[in-house]
Amino acid sequence: MSNAVKYTQKGGTVKIYEKETLLKSDTVLVIEDNGIGIQSEDLPRIMERGYTGYNGRGASKSSGIGLYLCKKAADQLGIDIEVESEPYHGTKVLLTIRQHHTRHE
């Protein structure tokens, strides 16, 4: 959320919504903005600890730790994170939350 707001210009939009899935037990939460987007060469590394992509290097407040921590927390919770982005057209972050069935005895 904070990156969507941080990298979307004044007057831009940030949307949060649920996307339908084929598996009814899955929930996909989407955070979508029409901000500056992420360079394609940066996408594979944005979740690495300390990695600051092209956009982050231009912003003095970027530490390269935020998305790393998001990924660590998501992994602990069993949430999949997928990022789709196109420079100058925005970014979509898809959080897939799977229904886990626990067997009680």
Percentage of the chain exceeding pLDDT 70: 87
- Which pLDDT does position 102 carry in this prediction? 53
> What is the architecture of the domain spanning 2-98?
2-Layer Sandwich (3.30)
Q: State pLDDT tens for residues 44-80.
A: 998 999 887 766 666 556 778 889 999 999 999 999 9
Q: Which residue is it, tokens 């998501």?
A: 74
Strand partners, 18: 29
Going by C-alpha positions, the residue among 7, 2, 24 that lies closest to residue 16 is 2
pTM for this predicted structure: 0.82
CA–CA separation, 103 and 101 (whole Å): 7
- Which pLDDT does position 54 carry in this prediction? 66
Instruction: Among 3-7, 70-74, 85-89, name the one with the lowest average pLDDT.
Output: 3-7
Tokens read off for 44 = 């594979």
- Which pLDDT does position 22 carry in this prediction? 80
Tokens read off for 104 = 């009680």
